[in-house]
């Protein structure tokens, strides 16, 4: 077993990161990191959290920081919790899958760079060879089956993910910058000699919209690429409930003033 605490102690970092350890991990022969932190539509977070639950991944680490937003969340027990990012793992066959999820992303450029470097250094110590980041592309409207976009730090890794009809690697001139951890992990991974890919799914550009449809398409892609056994029908039920609530909300909204929205607001 590898001590995560000992690994963290050997990684160069500032003193703004605080760690809570939950479990050690069997030394991986090879690992793959999949990131899904909050962003537009929470597409990546929904997909990763669903995967963690479905395959019963085990939590190994929690990270809090003075660089995270100065707020707390109220949990189901009506107690406050600091915002945190969590790392989970699940060994399937010879590969150890690492899952990065959480409540927030670092809000400023410096802390986002430092956090991304910290995660990549930790992943490298755990024999990570590939990084996958997930996010949403905010649009005014989407098709019944959201389209996915794929980019990465090499043409080789991009080709490996073009395995479904509704995914394209033609992003240039279509999307703007990929913001936050989802972008930086891919951009910085090359310096660690890791392949990295970012998968974005179309979602509605509205702060109250949950991108479950986009997350569903990403999960279908990941399940085809990796040996994840997930029950997509669970998400289908949530989509029906969400759409019913959206119809009610839309009717209420149309009875008042309407606001103009742009086509693309934020990616990540």
Domains and CATH numbers, the chain: 4-254 (3.40.50.10900)
pLDDT at res. 10: 92
pLDDT at res. 173: 77
For the chain, which ranges sit under pLDDT 70?
A: 239-268
pLDDT at res. 259: 43
**Partners of 183 in the β-ladder:** none
pLDDT at res. 54: 93
Which percentage of the chain shows pLDDT scores above 70? 89
Angle at which helices 180-189 and 109-125 cross, to 10°: 50
pLDDT at res. 77: 94
pLDDT at res. 109: 94
pLDDT at res. 111: 94
pLDDT at res. 242: 60
Beta-carbon contacts of 23 under 8 Å, excluding residues fewer than 6 positions away, are 4, 58, 59, 60
User: pTM score, two decimals?
Assistant: 0.88
**CA proximity to 182, closest of 22, 33, 26:** 33
């Amino acid at each position: 077993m590898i001590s995560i605490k000992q690994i963290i102690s050997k990684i160069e970092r500032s003193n703004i990161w605080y760690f809570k350890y939950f479990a050690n991990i069997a030394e991986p022969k090879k690992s793959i990191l999949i990131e899904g932190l909050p962003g537009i539509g929470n597409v990546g977070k929904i997909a990763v959290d669903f995967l963690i639950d479905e395959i019963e991944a085990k939590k190994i680490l929690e990270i809090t920081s003075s660089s995270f937003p100065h707020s707390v969340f109220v949990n189901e027990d009506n107690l406050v919790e600091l915002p945190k990012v969590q790392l989970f793992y699940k060994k399937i066959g010879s590969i150890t899958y690492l899952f990065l999820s959480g409540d927030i992303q670092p809000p400023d450029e410096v802390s986002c760079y430092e956090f991304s470097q910290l995660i990549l250094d930790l992943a490298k110590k755990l024999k990570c060879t590939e990084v996958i980041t997930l996010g949403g592309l905010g649009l005014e409207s989407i098709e019944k089956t959201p389209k996915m976009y794929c980019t990465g730090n090499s043409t080789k890794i991009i080709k490996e993910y073009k395995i479904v009809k509704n995914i394209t690697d033609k992003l240039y001139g279509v999307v703007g910058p990929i913001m936050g951890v989802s972008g930086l992990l891919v951009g910085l991974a090359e310096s660690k000699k890791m392949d990295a890919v970012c998968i974005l799914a179309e979602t509605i550009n509205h702060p109250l919209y949950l991108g479950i449809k986009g997350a569903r398409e990403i999960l279908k892609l990941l399940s085809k690429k990796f040996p994840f056994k997930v029950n997509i029908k669970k998400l289908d039920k949530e989509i029906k409930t969400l759409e019913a609530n959206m119809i009610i909300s839309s009717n209420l909204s149309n009875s008042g003033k309407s606001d103009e929205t742009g086509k693309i607001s934020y990616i990540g």
